């Protein structure tokens, strides 16, 4: 078996398990989707596969298996993590963000808020957060209109005077920008206090979908299950 894991100390790893010892805490298998495990492995030079020798289950995120919406959100997290990270490129902050996201998804009845927080903070950590407070094209003020132009390819929001110069724009509500700016902050998000619904929810998802399309060159496979 060749599971791919994202680790705190080594980044993304491809492991091959051959007769590995499996220590257990509680029940469940130690090599499966959406599990927090402690592993011992042997680095094999010249090979992309590291030899897993021992593993210990710490958390199986059981809540993800009890609710379809939570499960889809977790698969989306895994798709983004697998696509936008490189082998053996550690990022402890991204590991902690992912761990916190999966833990929160197990408990929340608002997986969309948790997922959007992960998305926007992932963009921050990989240096691709768009500009949302001014025009990404000229740096000017966005004005006071209720709808604001947004272009992923141009790097973010676009002011009225620059809209004729920027291709492939969409228009979103100012409320959607407020939500994304809040999620991009460093303070912990109180999920139970933040509600995203109606037009704002559609605009937030539309903006993030455009960003992933631009960043990945395609629409994420799991996105269709989240709409």
**Positions of the chain with pLDDT under 70:** 1-4, 18-31, 46-48, 192
pLDDT at 39: 82
**How many separate helices (H) and strands (E) can be counted in the chain?**
5, 7
pTM of the model: 0.86
Own/partner pairs for 186-191, CB < 8 Å, 24+ apart?
189/113, 189/114, 189/117, 191/104, 191/108, 191/110, 191/113, 191/114
In which residue are the tokens 């491809």 written? 14
Tell me the pLDDT tens digit for each residue of 75-86. 999 999 999 998
| Beta-carbon contacts of residue 57 (< 8 Å; ≥ 6 apart) | 22, 23, 24, 25, 26, 28, 29, 30, 35, 36, 37
């Amino acid at each position: 078996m060749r599971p791919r894991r994202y680790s705190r100390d080594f980044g993304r790893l491809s492991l091959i398990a051959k007769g590995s010892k499996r220590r257990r805490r509680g029940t469940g298998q130690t090599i499966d989707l959406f599990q927090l495990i402690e592993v011992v492995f042997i680095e094999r030079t010249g090979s992309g596969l590291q030899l897993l020798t021992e593993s210990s289950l710490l958390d199986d995120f059981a809540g993800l298996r009890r609710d379809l919406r939570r499960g889809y959100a977790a698969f989306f997290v895994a798709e983004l993590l697998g696509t936008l990270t490189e082998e053996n490129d550690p990022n402890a902050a991204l590991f902690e963000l992912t761990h916190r996201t999966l833990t929160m998804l197990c408990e929340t009845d608002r997986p969309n808020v948790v997922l959007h927080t992960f998305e926007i903070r992932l963009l921050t950590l990989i240096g691709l957060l768009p500009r949302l407070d001014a025009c990404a094209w000229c740096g000017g003020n966005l004005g006071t209109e209720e709808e604001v132009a947004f272009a992923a390819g141009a790097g973010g929001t676009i002011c009225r005077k620059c809209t004729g110069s920027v291709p492939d724009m969409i228009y979103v509500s100012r409320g959607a920008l407020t939500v994304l700016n809040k999620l991009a902050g460093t303070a912990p998000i109180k999920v139970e206090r933040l509600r995203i619904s109606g037009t704002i929810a559609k605009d937030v998802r539309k903006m993030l979908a455009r960003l992933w399309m631009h960043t990945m060159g395609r629409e994420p496979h799991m996105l269709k299950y989240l709409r």
